[in-house]
Amino acid sequence: MSYTVTLIPGDGIGPEVMAAAVRVLSATGVAFEWETEPAGIAAIGEHGVPLPPRTLESVRRNKVAFKGPTETPVAGGHRSVNVELRKKLDLYANLRPVETLPGVKSRYTDVDLIVVRENTEDLYSGLEHVVVPGVVESIKIITERASTRIALFAFEYARTHGRKRVTSVHKANIMKLSDGLFLDCCRTVAKQYPEVKYDEIIVDNCCMQLVLDPTRFDMLLLENLYGDIVSDLCAGFIGGLGMAPGANIGEHGALFEAVHGSAPDIAGKNLANPMAVILSGAMMLDHLKEHAAADRVRHAVHTVLREGTKLTRDLGGTAGTTEIAEAIAAKVTG
């Protein structure tokens, strides 16, 4: 059996880390047919737009995509390809596991968190306008439908993965209506899952509590913006962005990508850590029900980390992206 997957190399370090991940996935023996499609700055030159229709069609057809980071200009320029992809394909659940990895130096140990972020609305609706010169309005959309759906995703995940507690993160003391609606939906869904504990925390306090002791949380359930910020914060517990994998999941498809961006500061230098995308690849294997292969990939990453002789610069080593890929691929086959 062969899986046809849309492969989006992306911008900056994207092509380097994606090539590394493809190398490791091919070492599992699981057969992939990669449909390579452009997106991001890389696509504008040839196709005139950052998200060409052919790329969307490919993901719609294959239902599974493996994506490198894409660059989004700050304050102006085109809209984020990620936001477009997540909305157009209705990939409503962003799943970001944050787990302490062997051998990685960090002030934190035994971190084992699951961050579930709503992916389609909130302040990412892109509804911004100038009211009068000097006054800008940016609209935050929260709906009962999307909030209920993401809460159901989180509690179903908890039930099927033996998680004990879901904590909703909010600012309903200030945004009483929007975050209030989000919390109402979470509470209603929580009642359907009596075996999973449910509690709530205000987002600023959550950040402080996380930095003090991330092990006091199990699963975090957040709206889009808080989820974006808090998941980067959580990546800091496990060695940084080079180590944090992710998945965007919907009813009709799934897209796997690391939490990190295109890292223009280190692009094209063979310095990027490919482990986050390789671990995202393991999540993709799990999604395809290739659990044994997924476990082999994770085990190979852990072994390379534990040995500590082949590490990229962000982890204190001197190895290049390609060397790490070869070392992990060798453990997968070995």
Contact 241, 292 (CB under 8 A): no
Among 276, 304, 325, 332, binds ligand NAI (CB under 6 A): 276
Q: How far is the CB of 77 from ligand NAI (least distance, A)?
A: 10
Among candidate residues 67, 122, 124, 310, the one labeled active-site is 124
Beta bridge partners of 86: none
Interface characters, 14-53, with ligand NAI (x: CB under 6 A): ---x------------------------------------
Q: How far apart are alpha carbons 97 and 114 in whole angstroms?
A: 4
Q: How far is the CB of 17 from ligand NAI (least distance, A)?
A: 6
DSSP per-residue letters across 12-27: TTHHHHHHHHHHHHHH
Q: Is 11 a catalytic residue?
A: no
Q: Is 228 a catalytic residue?
A: yes
Ramachandran bin of 71, using left for φ above 0, alpha for ψ from -120 to 50, beta for the remaining angles? beta
Q: Is 232 a catalytic residue?
A: no
Site for ligand NAI in 78-117 (CB under 6 A): 82
Q: How far is the CB of 112 from ligand NAI (least distance, A)?
A: 22
Q: How far apart are alpha carbons 300 and 3 in whole angstroms?
A: 22
Q: How far is the CB of 313 from ligand NAI (least distance, A)?
A: 7
Among candidate residues 87, 92, 122, 171, the one labeled active-site is 171
User: Is the Cβ of residue 190 or residue 284 nearer to ligand NAI in the bound state?
Assistant: 284
User: Is the Cβ of residue 154 or residue 271 nearer to ligand NAI in the bound state?
Assistant: 271
Interface characters, 49-78, with ligand NAI (x: CB under 6 A): --------------------xxxx------
Instruction: Report the DSSP pairing between strands 135-138 and 128-132.
Output: antiparallel
272 lies in the site for ligand NAI, by CB under 6 A: yes
Tokens 């590394």 belong to residue: 20
Among 38, 239, 261, 281, binds ligand NAI (CB under 6 A): 261
**Phi, psi angle pair for 34, to nearest 5°:** -90, 125
Q: Is 204 a catalytic residue?
A: yes
Q: How far apart are alpha carbons 180 and 219 in whole angstroms?
A: 20
Among candidate residues 204, 213, 269, 295, the one labeled active-site is 204
Tokens 């052919």 belong to residue: 54
User: Is the Cβ of residue 29 or residue 126 nearer to ligand NAI in the bound state?
Assistant: 126
Residue type, 72: T
Q: 105: which 2 tokens?
A: 């130096």
Alpha helices by DSSP H, listed for the chain, are: 14-27, 41-47, 53-62, 81-88, 144-160, 178-191, 203-212, 224-235, 275-287, 291-307, 321-333
Contact 136, 128 (CB under 8 A): yes
User: Is the Cβ of residue 78 or residue 197 nearer to ligand NAI in the bound state?
Assistant: 78
For residue 7, give the 3-state DSSP assignment: strand
Contact region for ligand NAI (CB under 6 A) — 133-141, 179-187, 254-262, 284-292? Answer: 254-262
- How many residues bind to ligand NAI according to rule CB under 6 A? 21
User: Is the Cβ of residue 67 or residue 149 nearer to ligand NAI in the bound state?
Assistant: 67
Contact 168, 183 (CB under 8 A): yes
Q: How far is the CB of 199 from ligand NAI (least distance, A)?
A: 29
Site for ligand NAI in 116-175 (CB under 6 A): none
Report in angstroms the alpha-carbon separations of 157 from 166, 212, 241, 272.
10, 26, 23, 31
**What is the sign, positive or negative, of the torsion defined by CA atoms of 301, 305, 310, 313?**
positive
Where on the chain is the footprint of ligand NAI (CB under 6 A)?
A: 13, 17, 69-72, 82, 241-242, 257, 260-266, 272-273, 276, 314
Catalytic residues: 124, 171, 204, 228
